[in-house]
Amino acid sequence: MPDHFMQKFNIHTVQKGESLKSIASLYHLDTDALKLFHNNQCDVKDMILIDLTGQKELFIPRTSVTDKKKLVRFGRGNSLVFQPQNCFSRYGVSVNIENNDHTNELKYEMSVRWLKTENQLHFFEIDRTSGLYLNEEEVNEIADLLAFKTSKVLYPLHISADEQGKFNAVENLSVFKERWPGVKQEVYQEFEGETVDRYCEKIEKVINEPEAMSLYLKNDYFIRTLFFGIYHQFGPHYETSIAESFPIVNNSVEPRYQVKLEIDPLKDEYDLVNIQGEGILNDERTVYDFMNGAPFSLIIEEHPVMNHEGNFKLAYYLNGETLLSESLYLECSIDLEKEKKIAVVIATLTEQ
């Protein structure tokens, strides 16, 4: 993993007649502090001993700006605070799945509405607001259509997320049973035959087992990307390291990744807050454990060799005022027999 993937400084172009002291006062910095910061970043030939000696550019701290509106609003310890109260957003979603030399892309639209906040949890209603497109075409194969039609039983879906903005649980599991007869009736008005019977039986089994239903929804890439949990304390260097899991394979215990997050303390030219993350798989389970669906390593060792054969990347862009997601990219991979990779793109839809 790279040391840094975000710029940690700004550059001031030295104007005619400027001195170290005048530049320091422009940015409300102590002269010695500015000199030290510049000398730590620059080439030896550009170092400042007492005052400027022909330097054309000065390195200045990233947060030293004349326009204070450019600074990201942090809480204590440079923490990003999740405050979704009264929010409503519509998102376009694209999920790209590469597996065994096959690539499929799913596209659809979703809406997310904040419902309430209690006991340090935020509650949301999630709805699907479009058809489902597979590789740019509306789904038309019977298996895909059945999956799409029967999944109507899930929506609207109620979920909770914690103060880090991380998915916590599905909150309306009991309502799926009540919705199912109506959805089933709709399905049988359009389809018939053994395939449909078998499929509906499978759905009923899952709906009647809250744990199975919970696990199924925990694997939803839209929910897990939007509610990944990026509202952390970033500390003095605007970075933090987190251990996170992601449902890239179907396993009751998800593969675990070690991810380094960095946040730019300055908003970009679009007034967005930028968060970047990179990481690697960090799990005791081997490739074969994952291929066999093992929830834990089958070899118990005192000092296990960690499996790092997988990568993780994210780029999140948040609204500069509300600090809520505007556009997101998450990419996760794991080596099985061949590499499996999932890339999720989520972008806010503006009203036409």
For 54: left if phi > 0, alpha if psi spans -120 to 50, otherwise beta; the answer is left
Q: Residue 195 — pLDDT band, cuts 50, 70, 90? A: confident
Q: Residue 3 — pLDDT band, cuts 50, 70, 90? A: low
Residues 65/9, Cβ–Cβ less than 8 Å = no
What are 253-274's pLDDT values in tens digits?
999 999 999 999 999 999 999 9
**DSSP letter at 349?**
P
- What's the mean pLDDT in 46-72? 83
- CA nearest to 142, candidates 107, 87, 193, 72: 193
**Has residue 300 got a pLDDT over 80?**
no
Phi, psi (degrees; rounded to nearest 5) at 174: -65, -25
Domain boundaries, the chain: 9-66, 88-348
Give the count of beta carbons closer than 10 Å to the beta carbon of residue 161. Answer: 23
- CA nearest to 151, candidates 206, 89, 197, 225: 206
Q: Which two tokens stand for residue 6?
A: 């975000």
Q: Residue 1 — pLDDT band, cuts 50, 70, 90? A: very low
**Has residue 32 got a pLDDT over 80?**
yes
**Has residue 5 got a pLDDT over 70?**
no
CA distance 27 to 11: 12
Q: What is the mean pLDDT of the chain?
A: 90
CA distance 336 to 219: 18
Amino acid at position 207, single letter:
I
- The number of CA neighbours under 13 Å toward the Cβ of 284 is 12
Architecture of domain 9-66: Roll (3.10)
Residues 87/113, Cβ–Cβ less than 8 Å = yes
- CA nearest to 136, candidates 104, 91, 97, 169: 104
What are 159-187's pLDDT values in tens digits?
999 999 999 999 999 999 999 999 999 99
CA 174 to chain centre: 28
Q: Assign 24 to helix, strand or coil.
A: helix
Helices 174-190, 142-150: inter-axial angle, 10-degree rounding: 140
Query: pLDDT exceeding 90 applies to what percent of the chain?
Result: 57
Q: Residue 4 — pLDDT band, cuts 50, 70, 90? A: low
How confident is the model at residue 12, as a pLDDT? Answer: 85
How confident is the model at residue 177, as a pLDDT? Answer: 92
Residues 275/262, Cβ–Cβ less than 8 Å = yes
**Has residue 336 got a pLDDT over 70?**
yes
Residues 263/80, Cβ–Cβ less than 8 Å = yes
End-to-end CA distance of the chain: 41
- CA nearest to 278, candidates 333, 232, 211: 333
Least confident of 114-118, 123-127, 151-155, 328-332: 151-155
What are 209-257's pLDDT values in tens digits?
888 888 888 999 999 999 999 999 999 889 999 999 999 998 889 999 9
Residues 207/53, Cβ–Cβ less than 8 Å = no
163: β partners: none
